[in-house]
Amino acid sequence: MRPNIWTRTLVGVSAVVGLAAGGIATAGTSFAASESKPVASSVSSDVTVLAVNNLGLSTTEAKYVQCWIQDYWGYTGALDGQLGTNSWKALQRWLKAHWGYNDSIDGIVGPNTIKALQRDLKAYHGYTGAIDGIAGSGTKAAFKDFAADSRQYC
């Protein structure tokens, strides 16, 4: 009978140790998972801070804009149809020189960037809305016209 008691004890201790080890292993991952917190955004849905903001342009249309800013405003990035921070920095240089952009050259598509863009779009690309810094449907449609005019630079 004695060997049977030792076997039971060994199996019981192994089970307790296994459960404890498994509990510790999963506790580490469950605590790690609870540490992540969602990031709240206070940015409006009309004007957003994104790595890429094509303002409704297709990648082909955005590539046309990139060709134009490459030729005239110091854009040195890829012609990939993704208007990212460096594309918008080049556009902000143009907007600052000609369209009343008075903020920092940071590549962020905020209300001041949109207002300056709207001034050009109103003068040359059929925009009829307010200079309000909101990239609504009228601004986006006029920006498509701007992109079409930029096609010749690619």
Q: Who has greater pLDDT, 34 or 121?
A: 121
Distance between CA atoms of residues 60 and 107, nearest Å: 20
50 in a structural domain: no
51 in a structural domain: no
124 in a structural domain: yes
45 in a structural domain: no
Same domain, 72 and 29: no
Q: Who has greater pLDDT, 5 or 141?
A: 141
Encoded tokens for 51: 């790595």
46 in a structural domain: no
Structure-derived torsion over alpha carbons of residues 75, 80, 82, 86, reported in degrees to the nearest 10: -20
Condensed to tens digits (0 to 9), the pLDDT of residues 54-88 reads: 999 999 999 999 999 999 998 999 999 999 999 99
Residue 63's domain comprises: 59-153
User: Closest by alpha carbon to 121, among 144, 100, 90?
Assistant: 144
How many domains is the chain partitioned into structurally?
2
Could you give the C-alpha distances from 94 to 13, 27, 74, 88, 127, in angstroms and in order?
A: 74, 55, 10, 10, 18
